[in-house]
Amino acid sequence: MDLLALFRKPPSTASVAKERLRIIVAQERGARGSPDYLPLLRRELLEVIRRYVNVDPSAVQINLGRDDGHEVLELSVALPQGRARR
């Protein structure tokens, strides 16, 4: 048992709020400049992938990056552990 935990104050709710907002605001600002079609593209890709592999919705990540003047569409799919079911 962590005896020190008895004396440690839990973080204040305001600091929890601040941390949560910092993350969500950064994430939403990051998505702001990206084209409108990305969420739809992500959804449709997920549908196609799920016809073959039963992946979790959060397993498909799409990022639009910039590299030396050209844009890179990066797609990453985390496949489930072991053999694909289905």
CB of 12 to another protein, least distance (A): 3
For another protein, the closer of residues 13 and 81 by Cβ is: 13
For another protein, the closer of residues 16 and 72 by Cβ is: 16
CB of 15 to another protein, least distance (A): 7
Q: How far is the C-alpha of 37 from the C-alpha of 49, rounded, in Å?
A: 18
Q: How far is the C-alpha of 3 from the C-alpha of 7, rounded, in Å?
A: 8
Residue count (the chain): 86
Residues making contact with another protein (CB under 8 A): 12-15, 17-18, 20-22, 24-25, 28-29, 32
CB of 11 to another protein, least distance (A): 8
Residue from 64, 57, 51, 63 nearest 78 by CA: 57
